[in-house]
Amino acid sequence: MGQLATLPKPQVDLDTAPVRAARPSDGKLGRQVQVEIVRGEPSAELDTDWRDLLLRADEPNVFMQPRVLRATAPDRRFVTLLAWDRGDEGRRLCGFWAFSIGTPNLSMLPITVLCAPATAHVYLSAPVVDRDCLEAVLHGMLDAITEAPDLPKFIALESMPGAGATYDALMRVLAERKSRYFHLDAKNRPILMPAANRAGYLENALSSSTRKKLRQHRRRLGEKGRLQTTVVRGGADVRRAFEAFLALELKGWKGRRGTALSSDASEAAFTRAMVAALAQAGDASIYALELDGRPVSMQVVLRAGAAAFTWKTAYDEALSDFSPGVLLFEDYSKALLADPEIAFADSCAYDDSGYMAAWTERKLVIDLWIDPRRGGSCMFSAIARLQKAYLPLRETAKKAYLASATALTRLRNAVMPEQNIAKCGADVRPSAGRFVRAF
């Protein structure tokens, strides 16, 4: 396995708003929490403060990393809330919550909101807050949004943890403020949280028949050449490996449907910059199952303190009979379990229906809309109810679209000679990605 490398940090300018009034901090008598609003990219000067905050954070979230925000397009409208704990010895960062200003995801409503996560291809919207002052920080952040004349007064959170100390504190704060909020969706996401049961975790998680099948697949695939699992962590090595990942993903079904990262130039540029920036800080690694030196399955893993995030995966579909993705899942799961610095790993999965459901623990993630104002507004309630009513209608329409597209594919395959399909290279399978963009 490759060795961890720590490289220099990039430098970016900071554009901040004035610091708002202080609020007493929970559990820290005599200390104050102050919130400032940063518009645009957060400065590289925050990187050290961010690292320190991760050591005290209740909910580590790599997707709130300042480096991730700096990797996106410069015209993206970012707003970051920074909470500072000010004491006699100086100040330290005790809260970080980043948003983009735009329309909420999966919505046809003509509204502008504060969206979190702030960028595409990220899977957690939780603020990163010092566990010792959760309520004070959240109160201060909601007050800052309320009092800023140029900020939207609606917050749309996608994939927000629906349990835990940060969520509980947010619910208490909203209740105290009499602020209005709506839960729109909830799903269980697999996580790896082995506690003391690291050595026998996979043996208990996977059935004996599954382990036997995986051994057979590994043996049969190994008969085709030299099979090995590698991991790279150094900045330059990760950048090279990520190019191989993009190429592997593009060759698969995501490439045919136009949803691969490299199918869109702006998304490819963002993800390249994001992975490079995180790798430079030692927070990105790429695992690969290689056959004669050629990757047949790859997994990008991101880090935030003691938390790991299995962000993106790709595999060679020509070898799908050997389950290369599941074989690599077994390998990197063992590596994560063997790393004492990793307390848990977040699968970043949309739900627990895939092979990552072998991780036995679950994280509840919800979509949550919030009106930060004290007492809320009738307008917010009406709009949130419209969105809540729209989502099941959208899901029904999506299923009907996919069913009709599948039927059309079968009809075309029945009447079109196979040689013509191969000649034109057509892939007429339905694309949920196209549907999402159209509806």
Regarding whether 177 and 230 lie in a shared domain, the answer is no
CATH assignment of the domain containing 236: 3.40.630.30
CB environment 198-227: b (16+ within 10 A), e (fewer): beebbeebbeeeeeeebeebbeebeeeeeb
- Whether residue 310 is predicted with pLDDT greater than 70 in this model: the reply is yes
> Does residue 372 fall inside a structural domain?
yes
CATH assignment of the domain containing 79: 3.40.630
Regarding whether 222 and 319 lie in a shared domain, the answer is yes
Mean pLDDT lowest for which of 51-55, 152-156, 204-208, 377-381? 377-381
> Does residue 195 fall inside a structural domain?
no
> Does residue 109 fall inside a structural domain?
yes
Mean pLDDT, all residues of the chain: 85
Regarding whether 52 and 132 lie in a shared domain, the answer is yes
Give the pLDDT confidence score for residue 377 in this predicted structure.
82
- Whether residue 4 is predicted with pLDDT greater than 70 in this model: the reply is no
Give the pLDDT confidence score for residue 170 in this predicted structure.
97
Give the pLDDT confidence score for residue 382 in this predicted structure.
85
Give the pLDDT confidence score for residue 91 in this predicted structure.
87
Q: What percent of the chain shows pLDDT beyond 90?
A: 68
310 or 438: which leads in pLDDT: 310
> Does residue 133 fall inside a structural domain?
yes
Give the pLDDT confidence score for residue 12 in this predicted structure.
29
Check the CA dihedral 157-161-164-166 and report its sign: negative
Regarding whether 336 and 211 lie in a shared domain, the answer is yes
Regarding whether 173 and 213 lie in a shared domain, the answer is no
pTM for the full predicted model: 0.84
Structural domain boundaries enclosing 141:
23-187+364-376
Regarding whether 336 and 220 lie in a shared domain, the answer is yes
Regarding whether 161 and 283 lie in a shared domain, the answer is no
Regarding whether 222 and 310 lie in a shared domain, the answer is yes
> Does residue 76 fall inside a structural domain?
yes
Regarding whether 88 and 62 lie in a shared domain, the answer is yes
Structure-block tokens of residue 391 = 């989502």
Mean pLDDT lowest for which of 6-10, 30-34, 71-75, 384-388? 6-10
> Does residue 387 fall inside a structural domain?
no
> Does residue 196 fall inside a structural domain?
no
Domain count, the chain: 3
Return the closest-CA partner of residue 325 out of 354, 346, 303. 354
Confidence of residue 5 (pLDDT cuts 50, 70, 90): very low
38-49 pLDDT tens trace? 998 899 999 999
- Whether residue 412 is predicted with pLDDT greater than 50 in this model: the reply is yes
Mean pLDDT lowest for which of 65-69, 89-93, 301-305? 89-93
Give the pLDDT confidence score for residue 277 in this predicted structure.
96
Regarding whether 206 and 180 lie in a shared domain, the answer is no
Regarding whether 212 and 182 lie in a shared domain, the answer is no
Between CA 5 and CA 232 the distance in angstroms is 10
Regarding whether 131 and 42 lie in a shared domain, the answer is yes
217-273 pLDDT tens trace? 999 999 999 999 999 998 899 999 999 999 999 999 999 999 999 999 999 999 999
